[in-house]
Amino acid sequence: MNSEIVIPAVLFMGGLGAFLAGVIAFANRKLAVVEDPRIDQVEQMLPGSNCGACGNPGCRAFAEALVGGTENPAKCTISSAGVKLQIASHLGVELGDTEKRVARLACAGGAHVARQRTRYTGMESCRAAALVAGGGKGCYWGCLGLKDCGVVCNFGAISFSENGLPSVDLDKCTACGDCVEICPKQLFSIQPVSRQLWVNCKNIEAGDAAEAECAVACIACGKCAMDASGGLVSMKNNLPVIDYALNDFATPSIIARCPTGAIIWINEKNQFETGQAAKRVIRTKALPIG
């Protein structure tokens, strides 16, 4: 082997390697970004689903906020109580208390009570149906039952009754708000579970006009507003509006005289109770189209 070629080459490459290693070693010292190791540790404990329900853009950002002390562990809607306690004790901070919030639907008009005026045969999507012809449901504001919310839910929290109405599983719902965004009729909203008095209708028609399209529509009779104490319920746009700042005054008696069951009481078991005066819905099959 020709040592005149090999030795200078080895020396040159070795020297270059040593020089670059020196640069890297220098950069590692001087340009290092000191990151709190607890951020990584906390991120490991978080669920990693990046749902955004805490208000941060993903779990990493939430972990940074936790370590920085601007958020408290209770804000995470997915982690179990045990994990949240673990994070709190790991960081030595208060657990904080954030009430559980869930997605609530404001429509009870399944196919067995609400009239479908026209048959929709296009792409299976509420958004598509709403864009084509409003969806063809008699009630313009009602749930179209084409399951966009169920498709978009990453946690499998939304299931559908046989009449196409979504129902939310409280244990699985993380209040991320994806269903709120996708619903073309804006029927979903994120609500604390303590809000048990709930208006289950968005139809702004009144009286017979509302009831003709849906048996459980609010007919704007105003009885709930009369029965509620001190401004808790007021009538706006033919619908009761609940002032949740006065939620402490809410009682099941407010819904007692509602003739259609449009205003409901959600009990501790997440069952929807209608008042005694509400008409009973006996029909279970879908109404004929037309």
Q: What number of CA atoms fall less than 13 Å from residue 214's CA on the CB side? A: 29
Q: From CA 154, how far away is CA 152, in angstroms rounded?
A: 6
Nearest to 270 by CA among 154, 143, 171: 171
Length of the chain: 290
Binding range to another protein, per CB under 8 A, among 62-70, 135-143, 242-250, 265-273 = 135-143
Rank residues 238 and 274 by Cβ distance to another protein and give the closer one: 238
In the region spanning residues 137 to 176, those forming contacts with another protein, defined by CB under 8 A, are 137-138, 140, 152
In the list 50, 86, 98, 118, the residue contacting another protein (rule: CB under 8 A) is 118
127 is a site residue for another protein (CB under 8 A): yes
Binding positions for another protein, 45-64, rule CB under 8 A: 57
Q: Which stretch binds another protein (CB under 8 A): 26-34, 84-92, 161-169, 179-187?
A: 179-187
- Spatial neighbors of 239 by CB under 8 A, at least 6 apart, are 199, 201, 202, 203, 204, 218, 220
**Axis-axis angle for helices 59-68, 81-91 (nearest 10):** 40
Report, in Å, the least distance between residue 106 CB and another protein. Answer: 18
* Binding residues with another protein: total (CB under 8 A): 24
Number of Cβ within 10 Å of residue 127's Cβ equals 16
Q: Would you say 191 and 104 are in contact if contact means Cβ atoms under 8 Å apart?
A: yes
Smallest separation (angstroms) from another protein to the CB of 103: 17
Residue 70 or residue 121: which is nearer to another protein going by CB? Answer: 121
DSSP string, 153-197: -TT--EEE-TTS-EEE-TTT-----HHHHH-TT--EEEEETT--E
Among 88, 182, 281, 286, binds another protein (CB under 8 A): 182
Piece of 24-32, 64-72, 105-113, 118-126 that binds another protein (CB under 8 A) = 118-126
Cα 175 to the center of its chain, rounded Å: 3
* Beta carbon of residue 62, minimum distance to another protein (angstroms, whole number): 16
Our finding on whether 246 is near another protein (CB under 8 A) is: no
Alpha carbon 98 to its chain centroid, in Å, reads 15
- Sign, CA torsion 61/62/67/70: positive
Binding-site string for another protein from residue 203 to residue 222, where x marks contact by CB under 8 A and - marks none: -xx-----------------
If the CB atoms of residues 168 and 206 are measured against another protein, the closer one turns out to be 206
User: What residue ranges bind another protein (CB under 8 A)?
Assistant: 57, 117-118, 121-123, 125, 127-128, 131-138, 140, 152, 181-182, 184, 204-205
